[in-house]
Amino acid sequence: MTISQKYLIELNHIETFAGALLQELSKTDVLETSSGKKSVYRIYRDIRFSKDKTPFKTFWGGSFTRATKERRGGYYFHLEKGKSFFAGGFWGPNAADLKRVRSEFAHDAEPFQKILNSKLFKSTFGTLQGEQLKTAPKGFDVNHKAIDLLRYKQFLIIKRFTDDEVLSPLFLEQALETCKNMRPFFDYMSEVLTTDINGASIL
């Protein structure tokens, strides 16, 4: 079997998995990603004139985008030997979004803290992840009671999987459950990012 044949077989596997996950996830969320095939990132690059024949990526990855401006956030999957995970959140929020989220934390961080401290969140994702400032962001008090949240520049939630879990017949079910468990986090962020500090819609 040639490398190209192996690649096509594995591509079919990942697209089939992504399609099945998309179908199930669409029962509880509204997604604009049209198919499993569309969700998978390409791993290849043009190597015809290159001495380096390694692929663009050495792992499978893909994402599902939530539909309409009212639903913020997205689901991402990364499948690689020893390094597989599902993630969601805001990798590079723009300045306006970051300011809005921080303003909400400064005003009342309790609803978000309740999500982070819930049994569901802790058992699935552990803790909120992402880059943080070493001090308080400009315009915010370093002694604010929610300073731990105000320092975040990214808002990421990650669930890691072992190779045995990925290869298990139960993986689709576990992946779906992981995505569903992101919803309280997404719903909170969506509400914040589609309203002003008074709760009025900005859409």
For the stretch 87-131, pLDDT in tens is 999 999 999 999 999 999 999 999 999 999 999 999 999 999 999
List the chain residues with pLDDT less than 50: none
> pLDDT value at position 5?
87
Instruction: Specify whether the CB–CB gap between 149 and 73 falls below 8 A.
Output: no
> pLDDT value at position 52?
59
Give the phi and the psi of residue 108 in degrees, each rounded to 5.
-165, 100
pTM, two decimal places: 0.90
> pLDDT value at position 60?
93
